[in-house]
Amino acid sequence: MGLWDIITGQFIDVIEWMSDANDVMVKRFDREGNEIKYGAMLTVRESQNAVFVNEGQIADVFTPGLYQLETANLPILTTLQSWPHGFKSPFKAEVYFLSTKQFIDLKWGTKNPIMMRDKEFGAVRLRGFGTYSIRITDAAKFLKEVAGTDDYFTTDEITDQLRNLIVSRFAEITAESGIPILDLAANYEDLGEFLSNRINPEFQEYGLDLTKLLVENISLPSEVEKALDKRTSMGVVGDLRKYTEFQAAESLTKAAENTGGGGAAIAMGMGFAMANKLGETLNAPPSPHTEGPPPIPEEPQYYLVVEGKRAGPYDPDELIEQVENGSLKRGTLVWRGGMRKWRKAADLEEISAILDQIPPTIPA
């Protein structure tokens, strides 16, 4: 090797990127004037892709490996630069490195309650939150659709958009899953997988893959939680008739223990009285309302004034349909059993809550 070869060999560029932060998705290689020498060495590490951009147009994409930048390794860029016979001089191109590792523990959650229907409870409002993980699978598409010419692109610049995408599909997909409200807590894993499979195609439009979506919690309105607490309490008590018999027996034992000396006759009399009462309890036919939890109360029925005529009755589920078709508005007159007169829908708290979940009319 001659002296000239040794000198010129010192000028061969080494193009590489060592990630300096866990949240960096795209980093443009800093190069004075974007000039790259012919024969430069390109190092693309595992969990990286390198994209060459020529005059705003995406050219070659390199996967992990070591490359010497020559005509054979730059087919698209060679075509764009019109180098039919090769080249030996420096050339200009922008080089973007993209991290293809998984970006984990990204947060999603509902800012406001979302309305959905349940077979048992009817229309309910839910809040949910959890985490998700993503990975760049199409470097050229991600650079074109998302990062653009940003020379330092982090996860913070896209997580808001992705979170909104997940939340916007959450209510719709949760309803389609068919999992009852009472069983959601036991099916977080299945629900997360169902959500991931349905939402992933929309992530792929950005060149991303939704590798994991976890549902950590789904909370119900306070009134529904109170109803569940009452139902749980009834489940703990079990058979109400047997529970009453047990309480009577306990009272008999305590009464005998608390009487002393000359009060034995009184205790015996109390014992006979309570024994008779216990016998009546045992022989009495079971009440139809003491077996299991009490019956679910009927939903209220509402009447509306539509175009000057009375319409209805409608249950809460049907009221949602009336809101959607425009028959029920804030100023619509509403009446239900127990009310003295017709009132505006916006003045009734239970109907106002339904109206708040429907977006207003798009302004002209």
Name the residue with higher pLDDT: 252 or 16: 16
pLDDT at residue 10 is higher than 90: no
- The model's confidence at residue 9, banded by pLDDT at 50, 70 and 90, is very low
* Helix or strand holding residue 108 (H, E): strand 102-109
Indicate the pLDDT class of residue 72, thresholds 50, 70 and 90.
confident
Q: Which residue has the higher pLDDT, 10 or 199?
A: 199
- Whether 203 shows a pLDDT value over 80: the answer reads yes
What's the pLDDT score for residue 61? 95
Directed axis angle between helix 188-204 and helix 159-177, to 10°?
130
Confidence of residue 269 (pLDDT cuts 50, 70, 90): low
Of 150, 198, 121, which is closest to residue 53 (Cα–Cα)? 150
Q: Are the C-beta atoms of residues 56 and 25 closer than 8 Å to each other?
A: no
What average pLDDT does the chain have?
A: 79
Domain 102-224 sits in CATH at 3.30.479.30
pLDDT of res. 49:
96
Q: Give yes or no for residue 224 having a pLDDT over 80.
A: no
Asked whether the predicted pLDDT for residue 89 surpasses 90, the reply is no
What residues contact residue 163 under an 8 Å CB cut-off, 6+ apart?
106, 107, 108, 109
Distance CA 59, CA 194 (A): 37
CA distance 331 to 259: 69
pLDDT at 213: 93
Q: Which two tokens stand for residue 81?
A: 């630069």
Cα 229 to chain centroid, rounded:
25
Starting at the edge strand found earlier in the chain, the sheet holding 65-68 runs 14-15, 41-44, 65-68
Query: In this predicted structure, what is the pLDDT of residue 249?
Result: 64
Q: What is the pLDDT of residue 3?
A: 46
The listed range with the strongest mean pLDDT (92-96, 243-247, 261-265, 271-275) is: 92-96
Per-residue pLDDT reduced to its tens digit, 20-42: 788 999 999 987 777 888 889 99
Q: Is the dihedral of CA 347, 350, 353, 359 positive or negative?
A: negative
Higher-pLDDT residue of 314 and 221 is 314
Give the per-residue pLDDT at 162: 93
**Residue pair 60/52 in contact by the 8 Å Cβ criterion:** yes
Instruction: Express each pLDDT in 136-189 by its tens digit.
Output: 999 999 999 999 888 999 999 999 999 989 988 887 887 777 777 777 777 888
Q: Kindly tell me if the per-residue pLDDT of 196 is higher than 80.
A: yes
The first and second tokens of residue 123, run together, are 């229309």
What is the predicted pLDDT for the residue at 153? 94
If one compares 252 and 122, the residue with the highest pLDDT of the two is: 122
Checking if the pLDDT of 2 tops 80, the result is: no
Confidence of residue 46 (pLDDT cuts 50, 70, 90): very high
- DSSP for 36-85 reads E-TT-EEEE-TTEEEEEEETTEEEEEE-SEEEE-SGGG-HHHHHHTT-TT
Query: Which of residues 340 and 15 earns the better pLDDT score?
Result: 15
Residue 243: its pLDDT value, please?
59
> Of 138, 110, 118, 124, which is closest to residue 195 (Cα–Cα)?
110
**Phi then psi for 103, rounded to 5 degrees?**
-100, 110
CA 190, 194, 195, 201 dihedral sign is: positive
**Pairing mode of beta strands 24-28, 94-99:** antiparallel
User: What's the rounded mean pLDDT across residues 273-281?
Assistant: 56
CB 210 within 8 A of CB 199: yes
SS3 assignment, position 252: helix
Quote the pLDDT of residue 252. 60
